């Protein structure tokens, strides 16, 4: 049998040069297209399980863990054949509850890219927080999950008798489904493409439990825009704020939150909850010089 470290090194060598370089500098798109996935598997003779498990050992090095120094990588095979990746992200100066778990990062990237989850791997045992968040995915019982040498036939194998969306509400849709919340600005802002991006993110938002879709757009100093949609969990606490998902997209693109210069948040004017206090706290800690403007939806 080939040693695990040998497989990892051979796999690293097979990755596209630009992806490999970006991974080594913790700055990458966190995606391998389907044709390259098939080529890697053929060249190295790797099963899907072995490919995903070994990729977790590579991508975990791109985690941002200034508090725990505990790196987690999560990798998904999508129904399209593409492979997406995620890592855990911690924020110095903020409470632990602001952290992003690797599985959350991964599902957020699938959401942003319009992908459906088929199989996934994680290099460490998922915590209860992440097992709960995975319950939001449609047909999660059919998603094979690989954790090092172990395999689990669906999320229920990791979370038996788990609390799920159907225990709280009627479920017309699930996370990763196509969404359109059909919201618009209460006071129109004609010709403002920056704000329009936030409105589009809100209209894609998965807010099944509060009916408070919200979206954010960040602008960095080099003019790049990163959108984020609010993603809820039936257990509430694992939910990802729109600023979290925007920061995930920024990190996945190799950006740095210190470069954020402007933030726009949109949410319902009569919302039962608000993302504004959360966004203010993160802005003050991560990019205090950035502007933060709020617009209301109806």
Mind telling me the catalytic residues? 103
Query: Can you tell me whether residue 159 is helix, strand or coil?
Result: coil
> Could you give the CA distance from residue 35 to residue 210 in angstroms, rounded to a whole number?
40
Q: What is the helix (H) or strand (E) element at residue 220, kind and residue range?
A: strand 214-220
Q: In what order do the strands lie in the sheet with 83-87?
A: 31-32, 83-87, 73-78, 117-122, 144-147, 150-153
Tokens of 133: 């968040």
| CB contact at 8 A, 230 and 275 | yes
Which three-class secondary structure string do you get for 230-263?
Answer: CECCCCCCCCECHHHHHHHHHHHCCCCHHHEEEE
Query: Can you tell me whether residue 86 is helix, strand or coil?
Result: strand
Question: Which DSSP category does 137 fall into?
Answer: B
């Amino acid at each position: 049998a080939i040693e695990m470290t040998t497989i990892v090194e051979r796999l690293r060598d097979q990755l596209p040069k630009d992806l490999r370089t970006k991974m080594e500098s913790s700055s990458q798109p966190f995606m391998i297209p389907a044709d390259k996935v098939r080529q890697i598997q053929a060249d190295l003779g790797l099963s899907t399980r072995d490919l995903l498990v070994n990729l977790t050992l590579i991508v975990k090095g791109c985690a941002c863990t200034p508090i725990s120094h505990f790196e987690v990588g999560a990798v998904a095979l999508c129904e399209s054949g593409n492979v997406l990746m995620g890592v855990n992200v911690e924020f110095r100066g903020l409470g632990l509850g602001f952290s992003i778990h690797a599985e959350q990062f991964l599902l957020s990237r699938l959401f942003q890219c319009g992908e459906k989850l088929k199989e996934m791997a994680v290099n460490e045992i998922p915590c209860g927080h992440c097992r709960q968040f995975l319950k939001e995915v449609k047909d999660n019982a059919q998603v094979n999950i690989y954790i090092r040498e172990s395999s689990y036939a669906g999320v229920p194998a990791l979370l038996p008798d788990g609390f799920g969306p159907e225990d709280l509400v009627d479920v017309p849709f699930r996370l990763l489904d196509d969404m359109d919340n059909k919201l618009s600005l209460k006071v129109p802002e004609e010709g403002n493409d920056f704000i329009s991006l936030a409105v589009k993110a809100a209209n894609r938002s998965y807010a099944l439990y509060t009916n408070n879709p919200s979206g954010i757009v960040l602008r960095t100093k080099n003019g790049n825009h990163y959108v984020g949609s609010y993603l809820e969990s039936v257990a509430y606490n694992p939910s990802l704020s729109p600023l979290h998902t925007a920061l995930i997209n920024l990190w996945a693109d190799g950006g740095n939150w210190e470069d954020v210069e402007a933030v726009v948040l949109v949410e319902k004017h009569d919302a039962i909850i608000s993302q504004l206090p959360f966004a203010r706290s993160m802005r003050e800690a991560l990019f205090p010089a950035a502007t933060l403007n709020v617009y209301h939806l109806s």
